[in-house]
Structure 1
Amino acid sequence: MKPADTSVPLHPLLAERWSPRGLDPNVELTDKQFAALFEAARWAPSWGNTQPARYIAGRRGDDTFARIHETLSRGNHGWAAHAAALTIGVAQLVDSEGEALPYGEYGLGLASENLVLQAVSEGLVAHQMAGFDRAAARTAFSVPDGFEPLVVIAIGGQGPIAHLPEKLQEKEAAPRSRKPLSEFVFSGSWQAPAL
């Protein structure tokens, strides 16, 4: 566990959320846990209730997991094999009439954070990654025009880091950090700290 070092107390789901790569290859998701991830994503807010988030999901050992895994970059391919589940987050960017759908990426982001926080509530961890081949994912899963694969999320149980390359072991062990609120929240004018 690496709880966030926050300036004020946060809800434990937020403080305990982080993105480890050291996953336990023996952890499996129950059917209920797997469904709850996507039920949480389904209830995320979206612009005009357009619900632009879609997911392609597989569990370790099934064909969908294997095909998602094959789209991952070299840096993610090794450690992500230990995930209990892999999912590709896809954003709808065009509506059924061919018009641009505003805030599709934002909607997918909100839904994905709901999914991640549900994982944390189940005692699991999740790691979101952009390191995958979007074109390969589109082809492998016949993603239609108007939809864009944007993120892969690995979900599982936190585990040992010994199987990780040395550089990733260092990242796993390093303290978590964020910019201070004074560089993050402004009031009155740009970069005038509000906190």
Structure 2
Amino acid sequence: MHELIEGRWSARGYDATAEISVDDLTSVLDAGRWAPTWGRVQPVRFVVGRRADDTFAGLTETLTRGNAGWAPASAALILVCTAAEPDDEKARTYAAVDVGLAVSQMILQANSIGFNAHPMAGFDAEKAVRRFAIPEDRRPLVLLGLGAVAAPEQVASDIRERDERPRTRLPLDEVAFADTWGHPFTSSPHP
């Protein structure tokens, strides 16, 4: 596995004094912009705030309880939106897939330039719609925090404990199947 994927994790203990340059932030946005898109629709849009600007302040106001304790230490917050398409289930589904692809590429780009990225669902989407005048044909799906990981001694103990938990995933034989559902895919060569 590529080191950017293997080393990726979603920190919460960000250095509240670290800044991200406009160039670095633009490279993260460009990574999202260049993500694959279904039918060349390109439904993904971003609301971008850097710490201390009005957009960042507005985005922090949308955070819900779990994220409100750590995400304001991010160097930037990016609200990732997509098409709403209420009457077209297929378009709505693939618009969400496009967001996932964009966010994934943004996370890897952030990691490649020395930042950590943490995708969040813990925000008030309706409040974001009102605050940023997001049109009815768009829906916010992910709030992405970008930051520099703080030294452990600079982080509150509850956040440090969560950040120090081992990163785990289900074993491959529980998530990848062949022949029938539940029959594990194996990487061993066929006889």
Question: What's the TM-score, normalizing by structure 1?
Answer: 0.89
Q: Distance in 2 between matches of 1:99 and 1:20?
A: 36
Partner of 2:80: 89
- Residues 89 and 184 of structure 1: CA distance in aligned 2, closer, same or farther (over 3 Å): same
| Runs of 5+ consecutive residues of structure 1 not aligned to the other structure | 1-9
Tell me by how many angstroms 1:74 deviates.
Answer: 1.5
- Secondary structure of residue in 1 paired with 2:70: helix
Q: Does 1:109 align with 2:100?
A: yes
- Secondary structure of residue in 2 paired with 1:88: strand
Question: What's the TM-score, normalizing by structure 2?
Answer: 0.91
Conserved 8 A contact 1:56-1:87: yes
More helix by share: 2
Partner of 1:21: 12
Q: Distance in 2 between matches of 1:69 and 1:139?
A: 14
2:38 pairs with one of 47, 51, 58: 47
Q: Does 1:129 align with 2:125?
A: no
Q: Distance in 1 between matches of 2:153 and 2:123?
A: 23
Partner of 2:109: 118
Residues 32-71 of structure 1: matches in 2 within 5 Å? Answer: 32-71=23-62
Tell me by how many angstroms 1:86 deviates.
Answer: 0.4
156-165 or 73-82: bigger deviation: 156-165
Q: Distance in 2 between matches of 1:114 and 1:192?
A: 31
Q: Distance in 2 between matches of 1:112 and 1:132?
A: 16
Conserved 8 A contact 1:21-1:161: no
Partner of 2:167: 176
Conserved 8 A contact 1:79-1:164: no
Tell me by how many angstroms 1:161 deviates.
Answer: 4.5
| Runs of 5+ consecutive residues of structure 2 not aligned to the other structure | 187-191
Q: Distance in 2 between matches of 1:92 and 1:160?
A: 39
| Matched AA of 1:148 | R
Conserved 8 A contact 1:93-1:105: no
165-174 or 106-115: bigger deviation: 165-174
Deviations 1:129-149 (A, max 9, x none): 100001100100111112111
Partner of 1:4: none
- Residues 23 and 104 of structure 1: CA distance in aligned 2, closer, same or farther (over 3 Å): same
Q: Distance in 2 between matches of 1:153 and 1:51?
A: 19
Q: Distance in 2 between matches of 1:16 and 1:129?
A: 19
Q: How many residues align?
A: 184
